[in-house]
Amino acid sequence: MRSRVWRVTTTLDLTPARDTDDCCPGASCELLDADESEALAQVFKALGDPTRVRLLRYLARSHDGTACACHLPAALGISQPTLSFHLGKLHDAGLVTREKRGRWVHWTVLPEALAGARALLGIDAWCTPDGCPPGCCPAGCC
Amino acid sequence: MRSRVWRVTTTLDLTPARDTDDCCPGASCELLDADESEALAQVFKALGDPTRVRLLRYLARSHDGTACACHLPAALGISQPTLSFHLGKLHDAGLVTREKRGRWVHWTVLPEALAGARALLGIDAWCTPDGCPPGCCPAGCC
DNA sequence: ATCTCATATTGACAATCGTCCATGTATGGC
DNA sequence: GCCATACATGGACGATTGTCAATATGAGAT
């Protein structure tokens, strides 16, 4: 998770699933590229823990998106190494930056790192039971 | 992850971290409630795997947000039990519904289950190094 | 130089995850 | 009825995760 290979996609391979089966004659929906889905999953994995959700939201509400972590172990009810572990995870995922100021470390959100996640969750482009955007995949199957 | 206890928050407890320390005199940023952050983390955890990212996006691009899974093991290069495992995870997180039609199961996205995640990631309300929305927390610390 | 304090790292451990094979279950077709 | 098929479940197993205690690192303060 450092490489960013956006925009690459592959189509669902529908070469004869079973020779005599006419299931899904029209379906040809795109499947997200493996690299891109891996990168997105890394971001979501970083958010997949309640402590880290709280940390990110805390930073996202702190002035300039920056705060020190000094009071957080007590506030969150976790040990200092555990806090360090979680901030490290956010950092590894590219969601925050570290900056040492004197004796303390200040953490800052990097909102642009969430662009991919936000795009995936962007409901405007979704097909839903209530309707589909133009150009969506045909209902082809079974 | 079935209980939805939104909107509850708690404030950072700044009762004397250390008696004689005047660190963070003005800081009083909100920390997301434990229940709500747990619920959000469950959703993100469900998305924290490349296969599940691909599955959700596949459904989100299929007509009416619905598709059968019949061709997916081959297309994704995974076994049928593994696919079942991942779809089960998405289902447990409330992101998709199962509907048995004849011999096949059809899966449908539930976009409203992502409302919380979308709200957290909604950059408009974020403090960033480039600026803060009105009413953000004071820079108080260290 | 030494001490203090904020943070990172290491090591240990239980718990969960992702994967598959083998088997169970239910549905439709004959 | 019986068989084939789509999917779920149970068991196994290695890999990863989240946690803490103990320790290391590194920067101000004295």
Q: What is the largest CA-CA distance in chain A?
A: 71
- CB-strand contact A76/C, under 7 Å: no
Is the predicted ipTM greater than 0.90, yes or no?
Answer: no
A104-109 and A96-101 strand pairing: antiparallel
Rounded Cα gap, residues A16 and A119, in angstroms? 33
pLDDT confidence of residue B86: 98
Percent of the residues in chain A that have a pLDDT greater than 90, as a whole number: 59
Through-space separation of residue B97 CA and nucleotide D7 C1' in angstroms: 15
pLDDT tens digits, B51-73 = 999 999 999 999 899 999 988 99
What pLDDT is attached to residue A86?
A: 98
Touching check for A67 and chain B: CB below 8 Å? yes
pLDDT of residue A97: 97
The reply to whether the predicted model has a pTM over 0.90 is no
Question: CA of B50, closest CA in chain A: separation in Å?
Answer: 5
Q: Report the distance from CA of residue B108 to the C1' of nucleotide C14 in Å, as an integer.
A: 36
pLDDT of residue A3: 32
Q: Average pLDDT of chain B?
A: 82
Indicate if the pLDDT at residue A25 is higher than 90.
Answer: no
Which residues of chain A lie closer than 8 angstroms to B45, CB-CB?
44-45, 48-49
> CA-to-C1' distance for A84 and D11, Å?
37
More reliable by pLDDT, A29 or A99: A99
DSSP collapsed to 3 states, B57-93: HHHHCCHHHEEECCCHHHHHCCCHHHHHHHHHHHHHC
Helix, strand, coil proportions of chain B in percent (round to 5)?
40, 15, 40
Inter-chain CB proximity A32 and B58 less than 8 Å: yes
Measured CA to CA, the distance from residue B41 to residue B8 in angstroms comes to: 16
C-beta of residue A116 within 8 angstroms of C-beta of residue B47:
no
